[in-house]
Amino acid sequence: ISIAIIIAIQLISIAHSRTVVTGISIAITIAIQLIRVVHIRTVVTDISIAIIITIQLISIAHSRTVVTDISIAITITIQLIRVAHSRTVVTGISIAITIAIQLIRVAHIRTVVTDISIAITITIQLIRVASHQDSCHRHLHSHHHRYPIDQHCSQQDSC
């Protein structure tokens, strides 16, 4: 998609072996909602210039990155709910004023959020995020003073 004012994408129950949403060049508002996607590669990638980007991924089973390569945006909101994966969840955001990332019930083996280059405000909220070793709870609580992440863990949850 080259130039657009509003891009709204809603995909439900997709079984795909490659990228689901990719190659958006210039847009004012981008709203992407993906529900129950089963795939082996990236879900959302390669968004060049946008003012407002909203990405909501619900019940995603995959083995690679979920959101990657967003170049320039004013506001980016990413919400990942019930994501099971073995690689990075959010990576490669170059320039943004405000970034809000919410991860709810994410089971992962590698990095959750990485490679954000330039941003004024970054908010990351982790709710019940667990690694393959189930050590997230101990790691987040033992390093809470060095990494101020808004977390909602109970003693019963792995994190």
Q: Is 36 a residue whose pLDDT tops 50?
A: yes
For residue 3 the two structure tokens come to 């130039």
Q: Is 131 a residue whose pLDDT tops 80?
A: no
Residues in a beta bridge with 56:
33, 79
pLDDT in tens, 63-113: 777 898 999 999 999 998 888 877 777 989 999 999 999 988 887 777 778
Q: How many CA atoms lie within 13 A of 61 on its CB side?
A: 6
Name the pTM for this structure: 0.76
SS3 label, residue 105: strand
